[in-house]
Structure 1
């Protein structure tokens, strides 16, 4: 099989590739140290499985995943990450990632994941599933609407007009949103809600 390993930390990428090369069924490994290089390889080579880090320069692993799906390539995509961020995970699942696993696994476990996705099955790290369960959106439907308008830069008065509510009611909703998100101001609230994919 042909693999692509996209990882911006050279030492980690080299070690990973050397260990993967020792596997019997790995024929070729392409290496990329940023998302843009990964895209170029995927455009020009037939790759069975792309193993992508999330946070890379120029293009992230999620950008590469979304591009791969938009181009309808048959390449299976495995994202490996040190981040347990729910927003990243949800975006990856939405884009149709084949596997999303944490980096603290052995090469034999990674090979098992590669065989799993080649067999047409999905795999997500259990730790990520746990964090999803504990990160349910605390905002009510109305609070989400208010939050989306706050993120769009609307003032309390503009939000009140848009939602046919009083200015005071919007201020109450805003206070409730800040309390639920643990935010001190609008900018913090928007950042938290967007990172967690709650708006």
Structure 2
């Protein structure tokens, strides 16, 4: 029997989840809370295996509540309920230890499967949410790569690399930066050596990925 605590500030959502969970013999609703603070209190009073957690709530939101739950009760699973409007919280919630994310319009059958999956120790992300998470990860990776590149190249080299990615010729770059074409050529040679690239085409492609 999987003991579940439902945390959501909207009574209609809690009622809907209550009805959905009642359809399954292997899932037992042991408590309800309207915010993160109440959830922490409920965990002190009830034996809980999994928390169905809303994100946007007064007093303490789901992201902060997840962090505190995982710090105090590392074995309790947290499955977060979300909407597309709350996707900015998804990555933060995962960092804080959430075991999965599901959309609030999930069917009762898929909800039961999600609870079972997370209860068994697996991380669950519905396809729609997984796309957003991957997008966030790619964004962070690109940001890190850009920062690494700034540290690896001098300020002037970075400026020239950007202009190369815009398709500027050595002559155009020299006119923009008020330096000689020979200086531009030397800088590009240094950039290619530092980044282990063969030519300016590879450099342009590398910069466009940022």
Relative to the length of structure 1, the TM-score reads: 0.66
1:6-155 to 2 correspondences below 5 Å:
6-83=7-84, 85-135=86-136, 136-137=138-139, 139=143, 140-141=146-147
Distance 1:15 1:69, change over 3 A: same
Q: Displacement, 1:73?
A: 3.6
RMSD between aligned residues: 2.6
Q: Distance in 2 between matches of 1:8 and 1:132?
A: 25
Moved more, 124-133 or 79-88: 79-88
Greater RCO, 1 or 2 (C-alpha within 8 Å, sep 6+) = 1
Q: Distance in 2 between matches of 1:107 and 1:41?
A: 24
- Deviation per residue, 1:106-150 (Å, 9 max, x gap): 1110110111011111101211221233443354217999xxxxx
CA contact (8 A) 1:84 1:128 kept: no
CA contact (8 A) 1:84 1:131 kept: no
Q: Distance in 2 between matches of 1:116 and 1:132?
A: 19
Relative to the length of structure 2, the TM-score reads: 0.63
CA contact (8 A) 1:50 1:75 kept: yes
More helix by share: 2
Q: Structure 1: which 5+ runs fail to align?
A: 146-164, 170-199
Q: Displacement, 1:70?
A: 0.9
Q: Secondary structure at the match of 2:106?
A: coil
- Deviation per residue, 1:74-104 (Å, 9 max, x gap): 2111001113555411112212211111112
CA contact (8 A) 2:3 2:29 kept: yes
Q: Structure 2: which 5+ runs fail to align?
A: 160-210
Q: Secondary structure at the match of 1:17?
A: helix
Distance 1:121 1:142, change over 3 A: closer
